[in-house]
Structure 1
Amino acid sequence: MAANMAPTGNRAVSAFGPVSFVQTARVLIRLAWARTGSPVLVLGIAALLLLPMVFGLVFASRGALSGDPVDFLMGRYDSLVAGLATPLIALLLGTSAFSAETDDGTLLYLVTTTTPRWWIVASRVLFASVLTGLLSAVAVLGTGLIAVSTSNPEQVVSAYTIAVFYGGVTYAALFTMLALVTRRALVSGLVYVLFWEDALSQTFQGLQYLSIRKWMAAVAESLTPSGSDRVGPSLPFALVAALVLVSVTVYLGGRRLHRPRISRIGT
């Protein structure tokens, strides 16, 4: 990403040799963390992760009176982790970096280097998706450990660990794209999570195929014995839809960064 880089053929070369995509991604990810790792954001994410664990503690404290652990875990995972923590964490991580870099001029510097625009977007998606997936998995594993110790009834804990990591990647791609195409990415993301996924997709069954939360449910239920007869998006559909969404985000995001009106990017 040094300023003394010059294109040679189809490859960017600096005075020190070819540009390393791995090293460039590391720099971009560190920069994204510097823009998003504020105390307020860390506290907000911590609260989202601790909420399902509090319910797990209440469940464990009641002993035999708590009921079926499978129903409890699936309910808490679906509503508090997949339905709340995962999308909101992805929204915060996927939108805040581009917004901050637009305000302080860092993004304008990035797009004037020889770093491919699509690689800038891909690195941002990688940062937001991996961090969201890992944090969501911590919420799933922590809640399961508190509620049912090391047991894994009907593979619910392992199934949702995989599902929320999948959801972290998919949500991060969507919200990164929103950050690049609109100045109101945070508001648009909240409308999608709280209105589209929570209200509309519950009312109109056809909209489930455009709901990342339902895609996550398809992944989770495909890994549990009780999910074989589910109605809605299938596992193959969810996987293909996520791949398409990530690809479109990287492609359109790269095209968006080629345009000069950088000031329109943000939350």
Structure 2
Amino acid sequence: MYNPTVARLTYRALLGRRRALILFALPVLLILISLAVRLLTGADDSTASSILGGFALATMVPLIGVVAGTGAIGPEIDDGSIVYLLAKPLKRPSIIFTKLVVAVGVSVVFSAVPTIVAGFILNGNSQQLAFAFGAAAAAASVAYSAVFLLLGVITRQAVVFGLVYALVWESLIGSLVPGARTLSVQQWALALAQKIAGDGAGVSSDVGLPMAVVLLVGVTVAGTWFAGQKLRTLVLAGEE
């Protein structure tokens, strides 16, 4: 299923100058905020949990997912260069799967790793908060990559829709509106962070861990499958 040539081309597109600047900007901002908070307030578990959950997981991770997920295929569809890739003897699900792997890899590197680093800066990984939120960021990155990759296939306004979802639903509604939290990737990932950090760490989710795992896996599988089907339909439409 995994195609090294497709992966290499996708990595090159994602890590181009413009997108690389965006991918680096948010992790650098997280690290700078963490350094400033640590210098001003010292090590504090509650503060660390607020920053790692409120900024890293709720804002940085979905935004990086937007860049990585939509950027893995959206630009190729927009400029028509996807035709050259589809002309090759490659199965459409293989193309989608490879691009998902690349998007997940980029998202995890630019989301989970900085989150762990920020956690160590903020409180030295007290109560396993750095690893807890790092694992949550990695899990969320997988689901976000699948969702935004699907958006990149089905619409040319994928970045716009992705930003609206990331900033409005995940960062705002998913954090503040109780009824909507159960439908938030952020909350599903928080269930994993809560399990790792323990009940005394002040990390909580509105979704239990078993259900959260089911939802994360389900969204990832469904998004990947639908993207493959849509790409196949796109080719048939072009041939007609």
TM-score of the alignment, normalized to the shorter chain, above 0.5 = yes
Q: Tell me if 1:209 matches 2:187.
A: no
CA deviations over 1:193-221 (Å, ceiling 9, x no partner) = 11122333345422212111111211111
Contact persistence 2:100–2:149 (CA under 8 A): yes
Residue type of the alignment partner of 2:80: G
**Any gaps of 5 or more consecutive residues in structure 1?**
1-20
- Give the equivalent residue in structure 2 for 1:235: 209
Match of 2:29 in 1: 51
Partner of 2:56: 81
Distance in 1 between residues matched to 2:27 and 2:191, nearest whole Å: 22
Which 4+ stretches in 1 moved above 4 angstroms? 261-264
Inter-CA distance 263–82: structure 2 relative to 1 (3 Å threshold): farther
State the TM-score, normalizing by the size of structure 2: 0.89
TM-align CA RMSD: 2.3
Equivalent positions of 1:47-196 (< 5 A) are 47-62=25-40, 66=41, 69-148=44-123, 151-196=124-169
**Distance in 1, Cα, partners of 2:209 & 2:201:** 11
CA contact (8 A) 1:51 1:80 kept: no
Q: CA 1:55–1:223 in structure 2 vs 1: closer, same or farther (change >3 Å)?
A: same
- CA drift of 1:262 comes to 8.6
Within 2, Cα distance between the matches of 1:59 and 1:70?
12
Distance 1:75 1:111, change over 3 A: same
Tell me which residue corresponds to 2:10.
32
The answer as to whether partners of 1:121 and 1:250 remain within 8 angstroms in 2 is yes
Q: Is the 8 A contact 2:66 2:148 kept in 1?
A: yes
Would the aligned equivalents of 2:127 and 2:201 in 1 still touch at CA under 8 Å? no
- Structure 2 matches for 1:228-267, cutoff 5 A? 230=204, 232-260=206-234
Letter in 1 for 2:216: A
For 1:2-17, list aligned pairs within 5 A.
none
Q: What's the TM-score, normalizing by structure 1? A: 0.81
Distance 1:183 1:147, change over 3 A: same
- Give yes or no for contact 2:197–2:203 (8 Å, CA) kept in 1: no
- Structure 1 position 259, deviation (Å): 1.7
Secondary structure in 2 matching 1:259: helix
SS of alignment partner, residue 210 of structure 1: coil
Distance (Å, rounded) in 2 between the aligned partners of 1:183 and 1:174 = 15
The CA deviation string for residues 166-209 of structure 1, in whole angstroms up to 9 with x for no partner, is 11111101100111112211111111111122333345422212
1:137: Cα distance to partner? Answer: 2.1
Q: Give me the whole-angstrom Cα distance separating, in 2, the residues matched to 1:71 and 1:213.
A: 18
The CA deviation string for residues 11-53 of structure 1, in whole angstroms up to 9 with x for no partner, is: xxxxxxxxxx44x2x2111111222222222122222001121
Letter of the aligned partner of 2:68 in structure 1?
L
Equivalent residues of 1:95, 1:175 under 8 A apart: yes
Q: Take 2:28 and 2:236, find their aligned partners in 1: how far apart are those partners?
A: 37
> SS of the counterpart of 2:89?
coil
**Please, which runs of 5 or more residues in structure 2 have no aligned partner?**
none
The total of aligned residue pairs comes to 237
Residue of structure 2 in register with 1:6 after alignment: none
Higher helix content, 1 or 2: 2
CA distance in 2, matches of 1:60, 1:201: 27
